[in-house]
Amino acid sequence: MNVDEFRTMLKPVTDYISGREISPALADELNQSFPPTSETFGAIEEACHDAIEQGWMCAHGSEGRRYGRVIEPGDDTAGLSVDVVELTDIVGPHHSHPNGEVCMVMPVDEQARFDGNPRGWCTYEPGSDHHPTVTEGKALVLYLLPQGKIEFT
């Protein structure tokens, strides 16, 4: 797996999100269209683990908080950037989402939660903010940002 193959793998998801309002309703739609038990969700999750092992994903930080932008926003991702973080029992740095954020939550430890969310999709509306928090173990979170916009405070 390389970044170009990963981008292609994400295309059904990024195409689905394209032009939609980032809202709780979108999270519900993603959980129906690409549920955590689906082949698409599983393939993306496996690719993330493989890429981390290969060293080109989550290449920054240290154990407990690894992260990195994988894909810059562009036409092939419907204007969404793709970042992946690997977090273990941590409260991350506060930031806001000028254009919203779509998150794919992939617990490594089954009971792990990202901002209280289990395996699946969650969204943050434009203008929202938070301290990304993983509790009860380790989780991977793939997040998609319209135009790659994120503001750390």
Q: 56 to each of 19, 53, 84, 142, how far by Cα in Å? A: 29, 8, 11, 14
Question: If you average pLDDT over every residue of the chain, what do you get?
Answer: 96
What pLDDT digit, counting tens, does each position of 104-117 carry?
Answer: 999 999 999 999 99
Q: Can you give the residue range of the structural domain that contains 90?
A: 3-152
Q: Cβ-count burial of 77 within 10 angstroms (0-12 exposed, 13-18 middle, 19+ buried)?
A: buried
Q: What is the pLDDT of residue 81?
A: 98
- pTM across the whole model: 0.96
Q: Give the model's confidence band at 34: pLDDT under 50 very low, under 70 low, under 90 confident, else very high.
A: very high
Q: Please give the Cα distance from 144 to 37 (Å, whole number).
A: 20
Q: What is the bridge-based pairing of β-strands 120-124 and 151-152?
A: unpaired
Q: What is the pLDDT of residue 80?
A: 97
Number of domains in the chain: 1
Q: Cβ-count burial of 88 within 10 angstroms (0-12 exposed, 13-18 middle, 19+ buried)?
A: middle
Q: Give the model's confidence band at 56: pLDDT under 50 very low, under 70 low, under 90 confident, else very high.
A: very high
Mean pLDDT for 11-27 is: 97
Report helix, strand or coil for 8.
Answer: helix
What CATH number should be reported for the domain holding residue 71?
Answer: 2.60.120.10
